Amino acid sequence: MRVYNFSAGPANLPLEVLEKAQKELVDYGQAGMSVMEMSHRSADFKEIMEDAKALLRKLMNIPDNYKILFLQGGASLQFAMVPLNLKKNGKADFINTGAWSKKAIKESKKVLDVNVIASSEDKTFSYIPEIDETKLQKDADFLHITQNNTIYGTRYTQLPDTGSVPVVADMSSCILSEEFDVTKYGIIYAGAQKNVGPAGVTIVIIREDLIGNAAESVPTMLNYETHSEADSMFNTPPTFAIYIAKLVFEWLDKNGGVKAMQKVNEEKAKMLYDYIDSSKMFSNPVTPKDRSMMNVTFVTGNEDLDAKFVKEAKAQGLCNLKGHRSVGGMRASIYNAMPKAGVEKLIAFMKEFEANN
């Protein structure tokens, strides 16, 4: 029996995608072998790679002057690759909205002078800070944001105006969940294991003029130019993860694309937040205008009751609802693959739990 998996990542995948992968696992197409076994230089895999890129370009309306790279190392490696490749004047602006922002800041500090122009740490990252645009450095190499904050359940709904300074966004937990104007970003990067596919592949969408500027001292594998010139095949790419990502892109495309998915995601999030706001037991700590559509955090205010809730929910087939260890409470990650029925079942259980406790 499949459960409703509310894990923040690795997260649930569309059942249709898993079933197709299962069907093709032993023999892909007419290849007589699994995608896991085939050469990344083969015609079959090159077709998978090209289809994946073309579908992602269509789904996100990515302009021709942006390259799509399929890399490894997760978003965590991008924390280092971004400053190594974009270093020009030796300084960057950051907005600190949580644990992942802090990790990105730490890596950039090894390479650049980092200017944290705003932070929401004063209220446990429960809001997106207002930006004083006079604090933006006109000669910064980039401004970095974490578009959606998985742990705290916050997201950006508008970007600061940075002029000619490229905006770099970690979209690991919100890519493909809503429509984004790619032209407003210099680089978008995302670990796949939340909204795209299994862990192992990282998507990087990068404006072409930001490629080829790394210093000679930057290691070959950490240079975007290496991967751009080799079409993401400088070394063996994570072939199976790219294949699953392609199936997810096909599933999205077939179901109306990102616009249709955004509508469903807005409905799911509204249902859950509306119930939490009406509840006498549960509450959400996030400033309403900054609430994430993907990661809904909530608490009872009592740690023992929170633990009881998580345990009893699991028995009902509602799994991985425990909040991140740094903040506690509960978190329902309701990515694209979470059906509305899963959210409805969660709300029904929350009502029952509240009545009984």
Catalytic residue ranges: 100, 170, 194
Six token digits for residue 16: 């249709």
Give buried/exposed letters for 212-246 (b at 16+ CB in 10 A, else e): ebbeeebeeebbbebbbeebbbbeebbbbbbbbbb
Q: How far apart are CA 32 and CA 69, in angstroms?
A: 28
The DSSP line for 286-329 is S-GGGB-SSEEEEB-S-HHHHHHHHHHHHHTTEE--BPPTTT-S
Chain centroid to CA 3: how far?
A: 22
Q: For residue 204, which of 21, 119, 80 has the smallest C-alpha distance?
A: 80
DSSP state of 259: H
For 251, how many CA atoms within 13 A lie in the half-sphere containing its CB? 22
Report how far apart, in Å, the C-alpha atoms of 117 and of each of 40, 132, 203, 352 are: 43, 8, 27, 44
For β-strands 91-96 and 143-146, DSSP reports them as parallel
What amino acid occupies position 139?
Answer: D
Give SS3 for 220: helix
- Report the C-alpha gap between 226 and 216 in whole angstroms: 12
